[in-house]
Amino acid sequence: MSALWTADAVAAATGGTASGDFAVNGVAYDSREVGPGDLFIALAGEMTDGHRFLDGAFAAGAAGALVEHDIAQPHVRVADTAAALNALGVASRARTAAKIVGVTGSVGKTGTKEALFAAFDRIAPGQAHRSVKSYNNHVGVPLSLARMPAATRYGVFEMGMNHEGELAALTRLVRPDIAIITAIAPAHRAHFASEEAIADAKAEIFEGLEPGGTAIVPHDSPHRDRLVAAARPHAARVWTFGFGEGADVRATATAPAANGGTTVSMTMPDAQLTFTIGQPGAHWVSNALAVLAAVEAAGGDIAVAGLALAGLGGLAGRGQRHSIRVGDGEALLIDESYNANPASMAATLAVLGAEPAARRIAVLGAMRELGEESDALHAALAGPIEAAGVDFALLVGAEMAPLAATLEGRVKICQAPDAAAALAILHDVLKPGDAVLIKGSNAIGLARTVTALAGDKD
């Protein structure tokens, strides 16, 4: 296998000076993630300086480092390692002939990115690349680009934002051939004057489209026309996806699948397909339509992509399921702990509502960055909770008080100040046959609750 980067290539991309010949097969900026043969990028951040961790990185097997001063180990010296990381990402994008897909949205972007990767990897095994985890910001995006092998056929990159202008910068690094917006919802509402402003900020992804590129937007969104108008100056074609009449990529029929997922009949401009999405929930059907639209736009085989969607498993923090030991029996744990906003809360509560269980328990952490509408948006979760037939709602965090007040006398509730208290309550109330959904904003820390409970599984 050829090297991902040589010292000379890194120096040429970044304008740096190489200490000598070396080659790397990976790129990392966190010394805890460095593996044998990696290039360690010593970023100088607000909290700490990556140069402090050079010895640890080389002890872990780094083959070289990108640094701002000379060191004894193999390195490329640059004036600014953050700027050099960007430059390395730009160079990686410039050297590939891959079809590149950029994904953003208020909800569903990581799941859609993972589903796209699964589809492309099924189409071209070993020749697909994607950003890992949620590496979707000003550091994660160039890092993900820098990790892309030159011979990649399909690349998928997630891009996130919580302020105006962020996506405009990221999309010009990625330069997607295909740009997807999964959905618009009041996430990061504290930083925007309106939901329309969020839509405008998400639409910045279209500004980086390559000539002849395709924009893919949600047909059923109230912001559809706004997104389409924003895409048209940059895209050669604009496709909509969804359930409504007139969508270019449309689910014409759905039925429950034996594995808890959904069988979908779909039409698109030049094809029809019936496929199964392994993940439960209408939101995953929507994600799958966006995925197949992108595969078609990239010239891939949508039938093969459909097979990949059938085998798609749950992601940690985003739908992964655990069978956990409770007393003499078991309970189902649905891990949606990674993050939360009103739209994703409603979607995953609907999934819980579809579960055949002795009791349905919703452990819901506060939703952060909702601004002045926070109280109203939290209280509005009462509708989805009741519609899901939730028997017991455990509400975590002070921001959940308006929801607790709304649910009083309608659903059995309990409030917990933090994730540790929620775990203690769960240990007392869980019974065999329960189905438990855990979801909340990252800052609430409910992932630790999932880890503790999942440790009880067989």
DSSP code of residue 135: -
Class of the CATH domain delimited by 5-83: alpha beta
Give the E-state strand segments of 316-423 in sequence order: 320-326, 329-336, 359-365, 392-396, 412-416
pLDDT at residue 458, rounded to an integer: 37
- Spacing of C-alpha 82 from chain mean position: 23
CB-based contacts of 46: which residues, under 8 Å, 6+ apart?
A: none
pLDDT at residue 192, rounded to an integer: 87
What fold, for 96-310? Answer: UDP-N-acetylmuramoyl-L-alanine:D-glutamate ligase (3.40.1190)
Separation between Cα atoms, residue 211 and residue 322, nearest integer Å: 45
Separation between Cα atoms, residue 97 and residue 431, nearest integer Å: 54
pLDDT at residue 417, rounded to an integer: 96
- Contact between 353 and 389 (Cβ < 8 Å): yes
pLDDT at residue 413, rounded to an integer: 97
Taking alpha carbons only, the member of 152, 156, 154, 168 closest to residue 209 is: 168
**Owner of token pair 């979707």:** 136
Give the E-state strand segments of 51-202 in sequence order: 64-67, 75-77, 99-104, 128-130, 154-158, 178-181
pLDDT at residue 185, rounded to an integer: 86
**What one-character-per-residue DSSP string does 6-26 give?**
EHHHHHHHHT-EESS--EESE
Give the pair of three-digit tokens for residue 446.
Answer: 């409910």
pLDDT at residue 457, rounded to an integer: 42
Q: What is the dihedral sign for C-alpha 432, 440, 347, 281?
A: negative
Q: Where are the alpha helices (DSSP H) in 203-353?
A: 224-231, 282-297, 302-310, 342-353
Give the pair of three-digit tokens for residue 301.
Answer: 């085989």
What fold, for 320-454? Answer: Protein-Tyrosine Phosphatase; Chain A (3.90.190)
Give the pair of three-digit tokens for residue 385.
Answer: 């909770």
Neighbour-count burial of 202, counting CB atoms closer than 10 A to its CB (0-12 exposed, 13-18 middle, 19+ buried)? buried
CB-based contacts of 48: which residues, under 8 Å, 6+ apart?
A: none
Other CB atoms closer than 10 Å to residue 6's CB: what's the count?
Answer: 16
pTM here is 0.88
pLDDT along the chain (458 residues), means of 10: 93 98 96 96 88 96 97 98 97 98 94 96 98 89 97 97 92 98 84 91 98 98 98 98 97 90 95 94 95 98 96 85 93 93 93 95 94 94 97 97 96 96 96 96 93 72
- Helix or strand run (H / E) with residue 384: helix 382-387
Q: Tell me the longest C-alpha to C-alpha distance in the chain.
A: 72
User: Domain map of the chain by residue range?
Assistant: 5-83, 96-310, 320-454
Other CB atoms closer than 10 Å to residue 167's CB: what's the count?
Answer: 26
